[in-house]
A and B are shown apart, each in its own frame.
Chain A
Amino acid sequence: KAGVTQTPRYLIKTRGQQVTLSCSPISGHRSVSWYQQTPGQGLQFLFEYFSETQRNKGNFPGRFSGRQFSNSRSEMNVSTLELGDSALYLCASSLAGTDNEKLFFGSGTQLSVL
């Protein structure tokens, strides 16, 4: 069974641009969560989707958005990029997104904003 796949692996953008990151969960998993990882802040929760609906959102500005498709694949978008958005963005999937399930993580997308 294939794992969680995130594309692209690396991205370099300049301030003011926008970016879209993609995540394909493990087959059969319907919950997808996104995290931002930085050396100073650790892993910060962005949002969680289940069956195309956003069920939970972290404390990030509206520039960060996401969506989930009917095949459970998910995308996140960051508009008007700032230098502080440079981070590793991790996607994680689980079967149903319940509180005792483990998360399966992708290898992440490393975003650098210049």
Chain B
Amino acid sequence: AQSVTQLGSHVSVSEGALVLLRCNYSSSVPPYLFWYVQYPNQGLQLLLKYTSAATLVKGINGFEAEFKKSETSFHLTKPSAHMRDAAEYFCAVSDTTGGFKTIFGAGTRLFVKA
């Protein structure tokens, strides 16, 4: 079965600094990978998804992620953090074992300091 591991439950950056949120996947087949964001008191919304068309995936709000098969990683980055980026971020993978479902990582809460 597929799974994802997010390194770091909390990440703190200064406004304007680089954002790097780490995600490693485990999959025996080429995976479909996703990053979702959850703002307080809301559901999750998709930032971007990897479907093998390109290894560098651009998403909304200036975020992007690079698929690296050799490292089994799919890290999320943004060149310059903004206060509005403070939220919880989830890496996810599609798992078709026994039927369709999306498996989420434990999440990384991003804090942005003024």
Report the Cα distance A105→B104, complex, angstroms. Answer: 13
Docked-complex contact B101 and A43, CB < 8 angstroms: no
* Chain A: number of interface residues, binned into ranges: 20 to 34
B103 within 8 A of A: yes
Give the interface size class of chain B: 20 to 34
Known A42-B104, A45-B101, A55-B99; judge A102-B49 contact (CB<8 A): yes
- Complex CA distance for A92 and B101, rounded to whole angstroms: 11
B43 touches A105 (CB 8 A): yes
Chain B 34-74, CB-CB to A under 8 Å as 1, else 0, gives 10100001111110010100000000000000000000000
- Please give the residue numbers on chain A whose beta carbons come within 8 Å of chain B beta carbons, in ascending order: 4, 31, 33, 35, 42-43, 45, 48, 50, 55-56, 58, 90, 92, 97-100, 102-103, 105-108
Which residues of B line the A interface, CB within 8 A?
32, 34, 36, 41-46, 49, 51, 90, 94-96, 98-107
